[in-house]
Homo-oligomer: A and B are copies of this chain.
Amino acid sequence: MTPRAGLDTDAVVATAAGLADAHGLDAVSLTRLARELGVRPPSLYAHVAGLPDLRARLAARGAAELADALRSAAAGRARGDALHAVAAAYRRYALAHPGTYQALQRAPDLEGGQAGAALVDVVLAVLRGYGLRGHRAIHGARAVRAALHGFVLLETREGFGLPLTVEESYRRLVAILDRGLSAA
Contact = CB atoms under 8 A, between A and B. Distances in A.
Interface in A128-160: 135, 138-140, 142-143, 145-151, 153-154, 157-160
Contacts of A179: 176, 179-180, 183
Interface string A95-130: 000000000011111011000110000000000000
Number of copies: 2
Contacts of A147: 143, 146-147, 150, 173
Nearest to A166: B142
Given A135-B164, A179-B180, A169 B143 contact: yes
Q: What range describes how many residues of A lie at the interface? A: 35 or more
A103 B180 CA distance: 32
A177 interface: yes
A139 B172 contact: yes
Contacts of A153: 105, 146, 149-150, 153
A139 B164 contact: yes
A148 B173 CA distance: 12
A88 to B, nearest CB: 15
Interface of A: 105-109, 111-112, 116-117, 135, 138-140, 142-143, 145-151, 153-154, 157-162, 164, 168-169, 172-173, 175-177, 179-181, 183-184
